[in-house]
């Protein structure tokens, strides 16, 4: 099937969803492609119930709620979503591009925004024997419902923000939280480190440091215990109903690496003034975009979306003079 539109957005995470709104305000029509079967990117796939604290005007908002709000904001502009498929090929044509997906759909467009986050992503799995038997039953790499862990013995492994934040978040509902890390210093925000220390002092979290995962025991995919060892190879057994290993994500650009773009490691080099890549008509925003002093924050992705869409306006409407208007004056013109 072949479609025709003004703009194809690759990635339906926060930056991609906000691009729909920014494009819509400029009368730019969009199609959106994402490899996941639902919108939201990592916010939906990995931490829908995790609170986010740095979204302007929202002192605290769950990742899933943020996606719901972004979807609501984009809805007036009637975007077309192509979910559960990836973009395999981009071909240059005289008036733009042909985007081809893994489901043999073709989309003709004038411009492209790559908002693919960290590309194709998946969890870094700990090297535990028979771990596959437990995955999806008592071992999880993301949390979609906190209620699952109510009054349960939960072991969390990792030393970064995800491990610490979830240990803090689950401390009020779990029967017991054990946090395992190979060193006594955690790689997290200072405020989170202070909260963690206070909860440990209050006996709500057991800090198991310096230890690392060694093995797991259970029956039919249901954990009984997690075994950890220290640097002297001394083994400690921890009773557990669930294990949550948070060792970050493995990231691959996938087909993006073959599109001829200038890359910086696993990221796409852009001109920060326009978010243009090395190929005219293709833009990159959000975590996948690289430029000097880049900060990987959702709010920066929102700003980058606005910059890219305003530059794309000149491609979609080359004969029209653009008159900038604030949304308070313009309103939502469908």
* CA 145 – CA 61 distance, rounded (Å): 15
The whole-number pLDDT of residue 121 equals 60
N- to C-terminal Cα separation, the chain: 26
Q: What is the DSSP letter of 210?
A: T
Instruction: Enter the pTM of the model.
Output: 0.73
CATH 3.50.50.60 is held by the domain 2-122+249-330? yes
Angle between helices 161-170 and 190-201 (to 10 degrees): 40
Instruction: Write down the domain spans for the chain.
Output: 2-122+249-330, 125-245
Beta bridge partners of 101: 87
pLDDT at 69 exceeding the cut of 90: yes
* pLDDT of residue 92 exceeding 80: yes
pLDDT single digits (tens) 249-268: 766 677 888 899 999 988 99
Domain 2-122+249-330 matches domain 125-245 at the CATH topology level = yes
User: What is the dotted CATH code of the domain comprising 125-245?
Assistant: 3.50.50.60
Section 126-135 average pLDDT: 94
283 backbone dihedrals φ, ψ, rounded to 5°: -120, 160
* Cα–Cα dist 37/255, whole Å: 19
Looking at residue 254, its pLDDT comes to: 76
Kindly state the tokens that stand for 133. Answer: 């038997």
Q: Is pLDDT above 80 for 118?
A: no
Q: Which residue has the higher pLDDT, 276 or 254?
A: 276
> Cα-Cα-Cα-Cα dihedral of 256, 262, 264, 266, to 10°?
10
CA separation, residue 118 to residues 18, 141, 265 (Å): 17, 17, 11
What pLDDT does 255 receive?
Answer: 83
Cα dist from 283 to 211, 289, 304, whole Å = 44, 9, 10
Q: Is there a contact between 55 and 67 (Cβ–Cβ < 8 Å)?
A: no
pLDDT tens digit sequence for 133-167: 999 999 998 888 899 999 999 999 999 988 999 99
What is 175-187 written as a DSSP string? SEEEEE-SSSS--
Alpha-carbon distances of 228 from 71, 136, 157, 219, rounded to whole Å: 43, 21, 10, 19
């Amino acid at each position: 099937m072949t479609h025709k539109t003004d703009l194809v957005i690759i990635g339906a995470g926060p930056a991609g969803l906000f691009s729909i709104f920014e494009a819509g305000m400029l009368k730019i029509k969009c199609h959106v492609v994402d490899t996941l079967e639902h919108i939201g990117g990592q916010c939906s796939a990995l931490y829908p119930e995790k609170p986010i604290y740095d979204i302007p005007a929202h002192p605290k908002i769950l990742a899933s709620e943020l996606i719901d709000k972004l979807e609501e904001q984009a809805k007036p502009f009637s975007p077309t979503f192509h979910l559960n498929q990836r973009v395999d090929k981009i071909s240059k044509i005289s008036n733009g591009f042909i985007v081809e997906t893994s489901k043999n759909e073709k989309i003709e467009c004038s411009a492209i925004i790559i908002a693919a986050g960290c590309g194709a992503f998946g969890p870094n799995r700990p090297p535990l024997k028979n771990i596959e038997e437990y995955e999806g039953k008592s071992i999880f790499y993301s949390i979609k419902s906190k209620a699952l862990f109510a009054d349960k013995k939960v072991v969390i492994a990792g030393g970064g923000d995800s491990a610490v934040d979830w240990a803090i978040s689950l401390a009020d509902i779990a029967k017991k939280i054990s946090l395992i890390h190979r060193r006594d210093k955690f790689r997290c925000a200072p405020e989170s480190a202070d909260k963690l220390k206070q909860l440990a002092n209050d006996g709500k979290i057991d800090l198991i440091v310096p230890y690392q995962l060694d093995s797991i025991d259970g029956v039919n995919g249901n954990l009984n215990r997690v075994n950890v060892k220290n640097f002297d190879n001394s083994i400690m057994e921890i009773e557990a109903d669930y294990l949550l290993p948070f060792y970050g994500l493995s990231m691959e650009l996938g087909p993006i690496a073959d599109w001829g773009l200038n890359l910086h490691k696993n990221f796409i080099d852009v001109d920060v003034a326009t978010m243009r890549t090395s190929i005219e008509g293709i833009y990159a925003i959000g975590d996948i975009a690289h430029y000097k002093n880049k900060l990987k924050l959702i709010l920066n992705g929102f700003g980058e979306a606005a910059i890219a869409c305003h530059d794309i306006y000149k491609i979609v409407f080359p004969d029209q003079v653009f008159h900038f208007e604030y949304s308070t004056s313009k309103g939502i013109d469908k």
